[in-house]
Structure 1
Amino acid sequence: MKKTLIAAALCCAFGGVAHAQNSNPSPEPMPPGIAAPQDIPYPGTITLAVDATDLSRHIFRVQETVPVAASGPMTLLYPAWLPGNHSPSGRIDSLAGLEIKAGGKTLQWTRDPVDVYAFHIDVPEGVSQLDLSFEFVSPTTSDQGRIVMTPAMLNLQWNAVALYPAGYYTRRIPFSASVTLPDQWRFGTALETAAQDGATTTFKTVPFNTLVDSPMFAGRWFQRVDLDPGAKVPVHMDVVADRPEYLDITPDEIKAHRQLVQQAYKLFGAHHYDHYDFLVAVTEELGGIGLEHHRSSENSVRPNYFTEWDKSFVGRDLLAHEYTHSWNGKFRRGADLWTPNFDVPMRDSLLWVYEGQTQYWGYVLAARSGLMSKQQTLDAIANVAATYDHRIGREWRALKDTTNDPIIAHRRPIPWRSWQRSEDYYSEGQLIWLDADTLIREKTHGKKSLDNFAKTFFGIDNGSYVTSTYRFDDVVAALNQVMPYDWASFLHERLDGHGPGAPLAGLERGGYKLVYTDKPSAFTAQAEKVRKSTDLAFSLGLSVGKGGKLTEVLWDGPAFKAGLAVGMQIIAVNGFEYDADGLKEAVRLAAKPGAGPIELLLKDDKRYRTVKLDYHGGLRYPHLERIKGSDARLDAILAPR
């Protein structure tokens, strides 16, 4: 009897195993797809009311009314793929308290199990509109994300506070939006006011894509500056500040910003807006931003931007960069980057034009307008050239592939930027366009330049702000229209190549070469002060931030070979407590004949260790040096028109 029971048990056990092996899992079927957007009008105007007065808790409260034409299933979408971010970065995690009612009765909504930005509702018979309420609970600390509301100012981006119906192009969905601000606050936006009722402003009805493209800066302290007095197409700079004294703008500073507008018009030969607003936040409290829109741009600058003009030139190409995007990125846009709504995935393959050439024109227009001096611009270009000449990741990863980085990395911090690469299409792209510009100037003996491409490619259809898309072949054709050449091969070699070294031919053709000295340029020195960092990237292969924390370590550089990594902390240098000047002095002394290695005491989390950097090359800072007897084409590029 006992043997029979054991045999039966074994039989069941092995039978169970066999059954499991023969019953492998199969995938569950996917839910029905969300309705694809159609180029048809939405039946009615959506009203959107935002209460932006809860400053202390950073909460935007939203009421939205959505007309519906028929009963049955309906899907509402939250914007995921945000223009200018080039990635699905919509803060769906910050949407809270969603309640949907019809005729006073609450409807149950269900989030799509695949696309978490989609909400499904079953609209009852006889219902003509849905009444939505929810909150956008914006970050209260910087580790939660970008701060968009402070006691002194706020940045309202409509994509963060709106749901819209699936199944339609956003350009066919009309929105009537309003906002209630704290008393006495003023604002800047590209939207036009329809009505004012106390602290509540209602704007003229616009399509949803235009609404999303028209954010707002508002604040307690506000100033509006006319940047093109008397023009039929007005351009303004709308400035909010943490403190009223930050709004002390001098006539010379206004002149430089006005010249930016005129230099852009001379470059492109057209404009693509009926009015334009530079939205500028002078702040150390609101989160940093530089974001393009067709008729405006969002820009945050440091508190000393106006009040210490001679000390705030680092990064002063920002407004020029974002303004250029009105032509390059908003009016002309890569065909695979244009989408019919904000939840169809974007493809970023042409960002080396969208961002790379914009980065180029941002520097050029900053110099031509006087926002930056010629020398400051040359010094900034030297830093770019040196950075990418040391970008060892070029060995394995082509520049073209970095256009995927907004989607891959979502701009999160990474440990080995010099090896991994990260959105290098911006500044390495800038070097490629400098290469193209100087090549055109050389071969046409100065008769043509990339300025001609700008007019040919971006200066069409003056006054229109309907997006015009392009593909790789269109870029090549426009370059050939300026100067016949094998531009397809030129671009492929630089986009698909692997070095060695950065594409620096444009510098040399421009009359300059990249050199290193033991003295930083004024630009580098100011950048260190602004960023509170010590930049020894081109000597020790590291940069140091506050408290001795390593903020960058170059792959395969001296610091890397000694075992250093981002996040470690330098406690002592050659036996003495760390400070920036002491570290620089140690690098100087190590360059003397017979000197030993530099000894660092490091803190790595909870562990301490000593490392020796066997580096004796001295301090190395990048500069551009004129090549004797060469044509100064780069000087000509930066000269005002």
Structure 2
Amino acid sequence: MMRRGGGRHSALGMSLLVLAVLLSGPRATAQPQAAPIELWVDASEAPRKIFHVRLQIPVSPGPLVLVYPKWIPGEHGPTGPIVNLAGLSVRAGDREIPWRRDPRDMFAFHVEVPSGVSRLEVTFDYLSPTAPGGFSTNPSAKLAVMDWHLFLLYPKGSDIERTLVRPRLRLPAGWQWGGALSAQAARQHEIVFDPIPLVLLIDTPIVIGAHYRRIELAGPTDGLPPHVMDIVADSEWALDIPASRLAAYRQLVREARALFGAMHYPRYHFLVSLSDHLSPFGLEHHQTSNNQVPERFFVDDEVHRRLADLLPHEFVHAWCGKTVRPQGLVTTDYQQEMLTDMLWIYEGLTQYYGLVLAVRSGLLSMEEGRQVLAAYADGLNHQTGRLWRPLQDTATAAQILYTAPAEWANWRRGVDFYPEGALLWLETDVLIRRMTEGRRSLDDFAREFFGSGIGPGGRIFVKPYTAEELYAALHKIVPYDWKGFFTSRLNEKRPQAPMAGLLEGGWVLNYTEESNPFALPLSEEVLPLPSSLGLAVKEDGRVLDVGYGTPAYRSGLGPGMKIVAVNGRRFSKDVFLRALAAARDGRPIQLLVENDEFFTTHELLYTEGVRFPQLVRDEKKPDVLSEILAPRAAERR
């Protein structure tokens, strides 16, 4: 285990330029800017899922509104977990100050600051979820992700770029921390960090844990800003990462530099939490990313393979999403609503380049990259919600789709701007290469629009853009009706996935009995069923979802039911899969189904067998896809 090392950096020395749209109307109150907000977070009871918070907030006498962050960047919705705030107390010296929640805004608290008072002390507890799920990270018994927005109240109307916060953190005994923040002092498990603008603090989480390892991936000797991996784990053995895997992550940094050119941050930290008690999850930030993966992620090839594009995805967001950001996602504080209609770029393009960089860096092989794309195409082709919901609406409605229930998800349609966005941008890349006879590519656009084309590296800033500006930038790469190209694909209801990128890229979608690991459920508790069946079912027979109009739907199955028997035999994974394989002769599969306390029989007619998607080479066309996935950095050419 390596202890945190390296030089000391001043957060105040970083350039922070946020080009935001100013809110109309007067601010709620003018607050002094000279003194920072003092923040103490006691995480010593993190294993018990409770954090104790104390704030000292500079104020002026008169009415004051304190707000809890509501719209969290990268979460694309009003996801601030205000319900987990408990024990709230506001004091001025020895006096307790009454507070009142705003009846229309659950995230706002009204207080009256007495005459002569220049500082309020606010205390509360943050009650962490005890089970994984949702956006709010939950600690395990051995580690936690410190997302600072969970522990903050701030005066409404504050200039989040100018308001300084001085964080202090108390760790559980024996725990360590890692991240991009700069520490002034550390003593007896307590860390005092440098004062930092509120906007940058919320954008810079850290990890804490009993088992910690810090790994230098790149730095000035490589001609790059410092790139560090901060890893916390539930067990020490999980930190023993194969050298070849670390080499691929080092190559990821070089491939990102080769793609974008400029790196818009002074340093970058990959935060990785290895635990089976957290949901696999990633969240992007300017100079760091939060990556939650299973405990065996680094040491188990199969586990790593399934999530190998997670860190590349969040890394790409440092350019696409954090630095260069759709106008509707640029806000002046954390209470203003965000517009998510351009997530097909923010997330879709990132999904594309996250996969491309995973292959270029060696985290995935070319064959595995093709398997991912085959799984995207297969899943989208059998997404029945495409019949009524266009791709654009999945982005516009993201704030409700992220938290939609699993039941009837196939018919409802979810956040398809991730996989379909990836296929859409693959089509764009192939089209540019074809129209320019290979002289230009989407890489040229990425470099110009997100990287070197907007300025040198080393500083943090935000550059908003509109869809029209994106179309114009693509037009400079190659003249084309890009607005018409994207508008039709976004707004038209199309029953099939956008396949042109694969087809014109030299590959066709095919089905074989050979398993595609990327087309299988992440959870081992869910059966590996073909998408065309339209059924998601757990190993205990519980039906999770049914696709509208599919063979499973026509059989009468629905979410919440439980398959008890298959062809007269007790349901099990093997029994059901064998029945599917044997049903090619046209005989229906007989199912006994429990629905609440009632039992019914159903006939499932499905003759395609157990098949999985694969990409097959079309020798009649040039292999553009392999050109796209080939490494760019000199070290791997």
Aligned residue among 292, 314, 320 for 2:306: 314
**2:456 maps to 1:462:** yes
* Distance change (3 Å), C-alpha of 1:612 and 1:474: same
Tell me if the contact between 2:203 and 2:286 (Cα under 8 Å) persists in the aligned partners: yes
CA offsets per residue over residues 233-268 of structure 1, 9 Å max, x none?
A: 100111111100111112111101001111011011
Map of 1:407 onto structure 2: 399
What is the CA distance between 1:327 and its match in structure 2?
0.4
For 1:96, the aligned partner's letter is A
For 2:505, the aligned partner's letter is G
CA distance in 1, matches of 2:33, 2:359: 46
Aligned residue among 328, 342, 359 for 2:334: 342
Equivalent runs, 1:112-261 vs 2, <5 Å? 112-142=102-132, 146=136, 148-229=138-219, 230-231=221-222, 233-261=225-253
Map of 1:503 onto structure 2: 498
For 1:538, the aligned partner's letter is S
What is the CA distance between 1:374 and its match in structure 2?
0.9
What is the CA distance between 1:147 and its match in structure 2?
5.2
CA distance in 2, matches of 1:261, 1:37: 43
Equivalent runs, 1:463-612 vs 2, <5 Å? 463=457, 464-524=459-519, 527-528=520-521, 530-592=523-585, 595-612=586-603
Aligned residue among 46, 49, 53 for 1:62: 53
Equivalent runs, 1:334-413 vs 2, <5 Å? 334-413=326-405
For 1:380, the aligned partner's letter is V
CA distance in 2, matches of 1:275, 1:297: 12
What is the CA distance between 1:146 and its match in structure 2?
5.0
Q: How many residues align?
A: 604
What is the CA distance between 1:519 and its match in structure 2?
2.9
* Distance change (3 Å), C-alpha of 1:147 and 1:310: closer
CA distance in 2, matches of 1:549, 1:266: 48
What is the CA distance between 1:38 and its match in structure 2?
9.5
What is the CA distance between 1:410 and its match in structure 2?
4.4
Provide the identity percentage: 39
Segment of structure 1 superposing worse, 456-465 or 36-45? 36-45
Map of 2:72 onto structure 1: 82
**2:424 maps to 1:429:** no
CA distance in 2, matches of 1:161, 1:402: 31
SS in 2 for 1:96: strand
CA distance in 1, matches of 2:225, 2:178: 17
Tell me if the contact between 1:39 and 1:172 (Cα under 8 Å) persists in the aligned partners: no
CA distance in 1, matches of 2:208, 2:56: 24
CA distance in 2, matches of 1:151, 1:563: 44
TM-score normalised by length of structure 1 = 0.91
**2:35 maps to 1:44:** yes
* Distance change (3 Å), C-alpha of 1:141 and 1:308: closer
For 2:57, the aligned partner's letter is V
For 2:94, the aligned partner's letter is G
**2:611 maps to 1:620:** yes
* Distance change (3 Å), C-alpha of 1:291 and 1:545: same
CA distance in 2, matches of 1:538, 1:248: 37
Tell me if the contact between 1:48 and 1:62 (Cα under 8 Å) persists in the aligned partners: yes
What is the CA distance between 1:34 and its match in structure 2?
9.6
CA offsets per residue over residues 100-156 of structure 1, 9 Å max, x none?
A: 111210000111010110011100000010011110011123479855222210111
For 1:606, the aligned partner's letter is E
Map of 1:279 onto structure 2: 271
* Distance change (3 Å), C-alpha of 1:145 and 1:366: closer
What is the CA distance between 1:532 and its match in structure 2?
3.1
Map of 2:3 onto structure 1: none
CA distance in 1, matches of 2:34, 2:536: 57
CA distance in 2, matches of 1:507, 1:123: 63
CA offsets per residue over residues 298-322 of structure 1, 9 Å max, x none?
A: 0011222121225530121000000
For 2:368, the aligned partner's letter is Q
Tell me if the contact between 2:530 and 2:610 (Cα under 8 Å) persists in the aligned partners: no
Tell me if the contact between 1:139 and 1:145 (Cα under 8 Å) persists in the aligned partners: no
* Distance change (3 Å), C-alpha of 1:567 and 1:515: same
SS in 2 for 1:488: helix
What is the CA distance between 1:420 and its match in structure 2?
1.3
For 1:132, the aligned partner's letter is V
CA distance in 1, matches of 2:411, 2:535: 13
Map of 1:439 onto structure 2: 431
CA distance in 1, matches of 2:30, 2:549: 53
Tell me if the contact between 1:80 and 1:342 (Cα under 8 Å) persists in the aligned partners: yes
TM-score normalised by length of structure 2 = 0.92
Bigger-Rg structure (1/2):
1
* Distance change (3 Å), C-alpha of 1:39 and 1:264: farther
CA offsets per residue over residues 130-183 of structure 1, 9 Å max, x none?
A: 011110011123479855222210111100001011112311211001100012
Tell me if the contact between 2:535 and 2:545 (Cα under 8 Å) persists in the aligned partners: yes
What is the CA distance between 1:529 and its match in structure 2?
7.2
Map of 1:19 onto structure 2: none
What is the CA distance between 1:35 and its match in structure 2?
5.6
**2:266 maps to 1:291:** no
What is the CA distance between 1:522 and its match in structure 2?
4.5
Structure 1: where are the runs of 5+ without partners?
A: 1-32
Map of 1:331 onto structure 2: 323
Tell me if the contact between 1:40 and 1:172 (Cα under 8 Å) persists in the aligned partners: no
What is the CA distance between 1:530 and its match in structure 2?
4.9
What is the CA distance between 1:392 and its match in structure 2?
2.3
What is the CA distance between 1:542 and its match in structure 2?
0.9
CA distance in 2, matches of 1:517, 1:228: 42
CA distance in 1, matches of 2:469, 2:603: 54
Map of 2:13 onto structure 1: none
Tell me if the contact between 1:79 and 1:163 (Cα under 8 Å) persists in the aligned partners: yes
Segment of structure 1 superposing worse, 387-396 or 291-300? 387-396
CA offsets per residue over residues 323-382 of structure 1, 9 Å max, x none?
A: 000001100000111100000111111111100000001110100011111111111110
For 2:601, the aligned partner's letter is T
CA distance in 1, matches of 2:402, 2:499: 29
For 1:295, the aligned partner's letter is Q
What is the CA distance between 1:401 and its match in structure 2?
1.0
For 2:588, the aligned partner's letter is P
What is the CA distance between 1:550 and its match in structure 2?
2.0
SS in 2 for 1:294: coil
Tell me if the contact between 2:48 and 2:141 (Cα under 8 Å) persists in the aligned partners: no
Higher relative contact order (CA 8 A, sep 6+): 2
Map of 2:4 onto structure 1: none
Tell me if the contact between 1:597 and 1:614 (Cα under 8 Å) persists in the aligned partners: yes
CA offsets per residue over residues 591-626 of structure 1, 9 Å max, x none?
A: 02xx42011111222222210012222223111111
